[in-house]
């Protein structure tokens, strides 16, 4: 969720602490005894050897449950073996109620539980937006996987409401200026949580150059530095997702931002069918909106790393309401022809501008999304701890 929202469709991406100690103490007390979920497997996550959770028991709202077993069980880096994860980004409610309530209401609408919940945070160290693993996330993570996007910015509004932010600068992150007060405390929270989480540092990174974050070389250094801090602190339950907008006018830029195979577990892309939104006029069905970037990632970044549609959705066609339904219903058939896609995360929030409703909260879009989500390809065994 960069400054524009972060909706990287096929168009040039635009430019769009006091409670920390108490929070750490509370979480540490809450999560005492939490064990690390270990799904064995070799370094690339392709093996099938698994180990059950260990420890002296789990606190009441910790993630729980034995790791899945069998031929469809996910690998060490959370790759589902018989299909793809079905996920979503669900925004905080405007009325101030909890994210837990919003997610459960969303699941009731779509007729199924999400495999994967995508949330966003800045580096403010504030109680909710700047805290990795809020109480809501811990609760929701009991029977869902979490995808945490961490932005090297400080948001100017709660929950990034207006998509405005203050960049901290990649060179400053790489130099260790935020280690002691920001990075290390949040890394310890992740370690205490124990369950594996997907993690993305500055998603849609190619859109952030114009926002003043720095150069590609500085991003790579910052990314590697954050990963090195996590490793130094013993954080082993993070699955690293490198996420770009996927706008192919940025091909050279995206390639220069890649941290390297040794630092990345999954590739992420954020492609949309904007149609009337952002001054576009071309309706792109699901295949046309996703395949070009998918093919480019396979050819130019990695031929075998799993790919996540880290954000995707479509606006409606005001002249043909059923078009949005059909856009979603074609997903199960089409995604199987792009077998590297192992997770799909629908962006369920409007973005600034006319004709920019990307939600599936009602109408034909909801009908199509519900139907797609019932497909067996998206019914994979979700890990507990």
Contact 208, 43 (CB under 8 A): no
pLDDT of residue 2: 57
Q: How far apart are CA 75 and CA 55, in angstroms?
A: 22
**123 domain residue, yes or no:** yes
Residue range 21-80, pLDDT digits in tens: 334 333 343 333 333 333 333 333 333 322 323 333 344 444 556 778 899 999 999 999
Q: How far apart are CA 249 and CA 251, in angstroms?
A: 6
pLDDT of residue 65: 61
What CATH number is given to the structural domain containing 222?
3.20.20.80
* Banded pLDDT at 6 (limits 50, 70, 90): very low
Among the listed residues 168, 127, 137, 9, the one whose alpha carbon sits nearest the alpha carbon of residue 63: 137
Positive/negative CA dihedral, 223, 235, 200, 294: positive
**28 domain residue, yes or no:** no
**349 domain residue, yes or no:** yes
Contact 336, 84 (CB under 8 A): no
pLDDT of residue 1: 64
* Banded pLDDT at 95 (limits 50, 70, 90): confident
Residue range 287-342, pLDDT digits in tens: 999 999 999 999 999 999 999 999 999 999 999 999 999 999 999 999 999 999 99
Strand segments (E) across the chain:
85-89, 116-121, 145-150, 153-155, 165-167, 197-201, 238-244, 266-273, 307-314, 341-347
Among the listed residues 245, 253, 327, 244, the one whose alpha carbon sits nearest the alpha carbon of residue 284: 327
**16 domain residue, yes or no:** no
**40 domain residue, yes or no:** no
Lowest mean pLDDT among 2-6, 238-242, 246-250: 2-6
Contact 219, 260 (CB under 8 A): no
Residues 136-150, mean pLDDT to the nearest whole number: 95
pLDDT of residue 97: 85
Note down the domain range covering 231.
82-376
* Banded pLDDT at 384 (limits 50, 70, 90): confident
Residues 339-355, mean pLDDT to the nearest whole number: 95
Distances (CA, A) of 233 to 23, 143, 222, 258, 342: 19, 26, 17, 24, 29
Does 274 have pLDDT greater than 70?
Answer: yes
Tokens of 149: 């996007």
List 314's β-bridge partners, or say none.
273
Residue 18 has a CB neighbour count (10 Å cut-off) of: 8
pLDDT of residue 211: 87
Residue range 80-94, pLDDT digits in tens: 999 999 999 999 998
Distances (CA, A) of 119 to 100, 149, 179, 362: 12, 6, 22, 22
pLDDT of residue 27: 36
Distances (CA, A) of 282 to 256, 274, 285, 339, 356: 29, 8, 10, 26, 14
Contact 91, 159 (CB under 8 A): yes
**196 domain residue, yes or no:** yes
Q: What integer best gives the mean pLDDT of the chain?
A: 86
Does 351 have pLDDT greater than 50?
Answer: yes
**351 domain residue, yes or no:** yes
**372 domain residue, yes or no:** yes
Residue range 166-225, pLDDT digits in tens: 999 999 999 999 999 999 999 999 999 999 999 999 999 999 999 889 999 999 999 999
Number of domains observed in the structure of the chain: 1
């Amino acid at each position: 969720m960069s400054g524009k929202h972060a909706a990287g469709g096929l168009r040039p991406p635009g430019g769009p602490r006091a409670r920390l100690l108490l929070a750490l103490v509370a979480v540490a007390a809450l999560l005492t005894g939490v064990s690390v979920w270990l799904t064995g497997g070799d370094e690339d996550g392709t093996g099938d050897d698994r180990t059950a959770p260990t420890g002296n028991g789990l606190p009441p709202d910790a993630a729980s449950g034995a790791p899945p077993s069998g031929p469809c069980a996910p690998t060490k880096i959370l790759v589902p073996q018989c299909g793809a994860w079905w996920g979503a980004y669900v925004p905080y409610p405007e009325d101030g109620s909890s994210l837990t309530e919003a997610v459960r209401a969303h699941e009731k609408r779509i007729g199924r539980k999400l495999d994967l919940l995508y949330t966003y945070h800045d580096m403010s160290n504030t109680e909710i937006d700047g805290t990795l693993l809020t109480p809501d996330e811990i609760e929701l993570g009991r029977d869902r996987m979490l995808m945490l996007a961490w932005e090297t910015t400080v948001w100017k509004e709660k929950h990034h409401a207006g998509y405005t932010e203050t960049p901290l600068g990649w060179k400053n992150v790489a130099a260790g200026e935020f280690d002691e007060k920001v990075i290390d405390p949040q890394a310890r929270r992740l370690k205490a949580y124990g369950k594996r989480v997907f993690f993305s540092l500055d998603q849609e990174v190619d859109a952030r150059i114009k926002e003043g974050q720095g150069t590609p070389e500085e991003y790579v250094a910052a990314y590697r530095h954050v990963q090195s801090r996590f490793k130094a602190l013993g954080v082993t339950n993070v699955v690293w997702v490198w996420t770009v907008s996927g706008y192919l006018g940025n091909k050279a830029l995206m390639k220069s931002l890649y941290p390297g195979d040794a630092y990345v577990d999954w590739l992420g892309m954020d492609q949309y069918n904007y149609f009337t939104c952002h001054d576009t006029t071309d309706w792109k069905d699901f295949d046309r909106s996703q395949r070009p970037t998918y093919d480019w990632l396979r050819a130019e970044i990695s031929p075998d790393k799993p790919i996540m549609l880290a954000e995707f959705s479509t606006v409606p066609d005001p002249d043909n309401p059923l078009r949005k339904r059909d856009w979603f219903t074609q997903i199960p058939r089409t995604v199987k022809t792009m077998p590297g896609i192992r997770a799909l995360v629908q962006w369920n929030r409007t973005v600034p501008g006319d004709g920019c409703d990307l939600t599936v909260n009602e109408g034909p879009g909801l009908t199509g999304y519900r139907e797609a989500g019932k497909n067996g390809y998206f019914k994979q065994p979700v890990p507990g701890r």
